[in-house]
Each structure stands twice: as structure tokens, then as C-alpha cells.
Amino acid sequence: MNAPLATDGAAVVTGAVPARRAVRIRDYGIVIALLAIVVALSVSTDTFLTTSNLVNLLDQCSVVGLLAVGATVCIISGVFDLTASASLAVSAIVGVQIVQLTNVPVGFAAAVVTGALLGLITGTIVVKSGVNSFIATLATSIIYRGLAVVVTAGAIAYPLTEQAEDFGMLTWPSLFGMTSATLVFLVVVAIIWTMISATTFGRRIYAVGGNAEAARLSGIRVGQVQIAAYVVSGICSALAGLILASRAGSAQSSMATGLELSAIAAAVIGGTSILGGEGAVWRGVVGALLLTLIGNGFNLLGWDTTYQQVVQGCLILLAVTVDQYLRRRNR
């Protein structure tokens, strides 16, 4: 009787080795890819490592990075959010309109509240309707875009002339020469990263995404957890919208169209499993930075940017393929 037990124990230990290797590949493969591109651009261009380019790189990453954080949280919980860019536009428009009536801080706060409410509505629709999140959020995103057009009557929303300077505060230099937008991005990432990786809510996010039925049987309110994930995504979208509006000095219904796909791409490239239950906020951020680096590299090297989408598509396909391979290997 003891021999079979010993054999089983050996099998468990042996099987744990490839599992740990798979985790290391999923965790750090994206970092290795990022460092490889950084080294390549550092060697091939004279301007990549300049302070102005690095500041611009982080600033450009802030919008996609915020959306990628929201997308990562949603995907880990087992749902998709295709409303991100539409929520971004609606939140930014509401923010500008409230700024016109009050002041910039109140308007910015109203935009964040709007993003949270839109996330709450989206999550409630997905959970209560029982429709696949991809389809439900696709339909909801169309509604939000239509709402943005209705609210603005198709026009561009501007703050008042005397408010324009303060409205652009997110473009101002801040700590270490970084823009205020970058600082907001880093602070939000730190907060959500901690919330997902070190709190009960984060553990529930992973549990629901890994096996919703098992999570329900263990007493977790699956619907509420997924709705909360959409609220987090909505807040991230609102902040991204404020950054774009602050840069442009205005907001409009067509802003950031299609950017939700780049956010999902960043999350997937960062190793977040599209099947849910696996992923990390920091890896989604690294994925966003990788996509931004590709665009920056194309510009610095003078390459035709029409091929940029081809490269990004190949990265997404590679990331999904590797994820599927590692899952099959661990079974």
C-alpha cells in the first residue's frame, strides 16, 4: 500500500515543476520582451533614452495603461468590458460640462463619478441579463456612444476661456519632470494593484474568474464581484478620459474610439488569461508599455506606422497561443 502512495507523491512533485515553470514564463516573459525592445531601441537610436522621450513615453502610456488596468481586472473576474472607450468619452464630456457650470476640480470629480456609475450600469446589465459579457458590453458601448452624441449634439465641448489653463493641469510637469497624467496613472496602478493582489476583494476576483460556480458555492456573491470589477474599469476609463480631454482642451463623442481593444490587447499580451482567473495588474501595465514602446520605436526609426497594427496583432496572437499551450501543459 505504501508504494503506490510514494509513486503518487512523486508524480505530484514532478508535475509541480512544469507548473512553476509555466508561471515563471507567464509572469516574466513579458518583462524579458520589454527589456529586449528597450535595449534594441537604445542601441539603434540616439533619442530613445533622452529625458524628453522617456517622459513622453510614460505620458502616452498613461491612457492605454489606465484602460488596460480596468480591462485586466474585468478579464481576471471572467468578463469583458467593451464599453471602456465609450465610457471614457461620456465621462470626459460630463466633466467638461460640469467644469463650465462650476470649476475644474468639481468637473474632474464629476467625471470620475460618471465613470463609476457607467461601470455600475454596465455590470448590472451583464449580470442581470445573463447575456455573454462580450455581446452585452458591445451593445452597451454603442448606447454610450449614442448618449455622448446626444449630450453634445455632435459638437465639441470646451471649458470656458478663463478655465482653459487650469483644465490642462494634467499636462503640467510634476514629480521628476513627469506629467501630472503620468503621476495619476502610477498612483491609480499602485492602488488597484494592491487591491487586487493583497485584499479579500482581490482574492474573490480571482476565485470568480477561475470558477464562478465554485465561488458561488463557497459563499462569494459572484454577480456583485463582477459588477465591482466593471466599476473599477469605469473609474479607470473616466481618468483616462480626463487625461485626453486635458491634453486636447476639449471633449467630444468620438474620442478614443477603438481604444478598448488596445487595452484588452495590453492585458492579454501581459499574460492575463482570456478564460479568467489568471493575470496581474502590473503585467497589464507592462503590456500597455510594450504597445506604447512599439509605437514609439516606429516613430523614432522612421518606419511606416501602417505596419504597427500588424506587429501588435502578432503579439496578441502569440500571447494567446502561449497561454493555451501553458494551460494544456499543466493539465
Question: Residue 323: which of 16, 25, 20 has the closest Cα?
Answer: 25
Task: Tell me what the mean pLDDT of segment 161-184 comes to.
Answer: 94
Any long-range contacts for 295-303 (C-beta under 8 Å, 24+ apart)? 295/60, 296/41, 296/48, 296/53, 296/56, 296/57, 296/60, 297/37, 297/40, 297/41, 297/45, 297/48, 300/41, 300/45, 300/47, 300/48, 300/53, 301/41, 301/44, 301/45
> Which of 106-115, 167-176, 186-195, 201-210 is predicted with the least confidence, judged by mean pLDDT?
167-176
Q: What is the pLDDT of residue 296?
A: 92
pLDDT, one tens digit per residue, over 55-70 is 999 999 999 999 999 9
Task: Tell me what the mean pLDDT of segment 151-165 comes to.
Answer: 95
Where is pLDDT greater, at 12 or 297?
297
pLDDT band at 9; cut points 50, 70, 90: very low
Q: Is residue 265 part of a domain?
A: yes
pLDDT band at 16; cut points 50, 70, 90: very low
Q: What does pLDDT average to over the chain?
A: 90
Q: Is residue 233 part of a domain?
A: yes
Q: Is residue 271 part of a domain?
A: yes
pLDDT higher than threshold 60 for residue 114: yes
Give the highest mean pLDDT range of 21-30, 97-106, 289-298: 97-106
Domain hosting 271: range is 26-330
Q: Is residue 1 part of a domain?
A: no
Q: What is the pLDDT of residue 21?
A: 54
> Which of 10-24, 227-241, 316-330 is predicted with the least confidence, judged by mean pLDDT?
10-24
pLDDT higher than threshold 90 for residue 3: no
Task: Tell me what the mean pLDDT of segment 223-230 comes to.
Answer: 98
Q: Is residue 56 part of a domain?
A: yes
pLDDT, one tens digit per residue, over 285-302 is 999 999 999 999 999 988
Residues 6+ apart with CB under 8 A from 58: 178, 179, 182, 185
Give the highest mean pLDDT range of 12-21, 30-39, 79-88, 286-295: 79-88
Q: Is residue 15 part of a domain?
A: no
Q: Is residue 323 part of a domain?
A: yes
Q: Is residue 91 part of a domain?
A: yes
pLDDT higher than threshold 60 for residue 185: yes
Q: Looking at the 3D structure of the chain, how many domains does it have?
A: 1
Q: What is the pLDDT of residue 314?
A: 86
Instruction: Look up the pTM and report it.
Output: 0.90
pLDDT, one tens digit per residue, over 271-288 is 898 889 999 999 999 999
Q: What is the pLDDT of residue 329?
A: 74
Where is pLDDT greater, at 314 or 213?
213
Q: What is the pLDDT of residue 32?
A: 86
Q: Read off the CATH number of the domain in which 290 is found.
A: 1.10.3470
pLDDT higher than threshold 70 for residue 170: yes
Residues 6+ apart with CB under 8 A from 56: 296
Question: Considering Cα of 50, then 51, then 56, then 61, what sign does the dihedral take?
Answer: positive
pLDDT higher than threshold 50 for residue 4: no
